[in-house]
Amino acid sequence: MNQSSLITVKLAENPSTGFQWNLTTTAGLRITKDEYIPTDTSGKLVGSGGTHIWDISTDMIGKQEIHAIYKRSWEPITGNESTFSIIIMVS
């Protein structure tokens, strides 16, 4: 991947249950958009989920990483959480 490229990460999420993705990146990546889009835009389906979308730009050459963990913010990490990770080589 070239420097100044844009990466889009989309992960299913249901914050009404308290579960949310906590996404982090290495210093060579920059989150330019962080948005949650509910599946039901009418507001009639209580508890329905949606999609969390991040646009991330590649600002530095080298090995860059994106990590995310899906958990409730008030609960400790147990090792059973859903996770997402990707390594990106920026040239």
Q: Convert the pLDDT of each residue in 28-81 to its tens digit.
A: 999 999 999 999 776 666 778 999 999 999 999 999 999 999 999 999 999 999
pLDDT in the model for residue 44: 65
Residue-range domain boundaries for the chain: 6-90
pTM of the predicted protein model:
0.88
pLDDT band at 4 (very low <50, low <70, confident <90, very high): confident
Fold of 6-90: Immunoglobulin-like (2.60.40)
For the record, the structure tokens of 45 come out as 């389906």
Q: What is the pLDDT of residues 35-48, one digit of tens each?
A: 999 997 766 667 78
* Higher local confidence (pLDDT), 42 or 6: 6
How far apart are the C-alpha atoms of 69 and 18, rounded to whole Å? 13
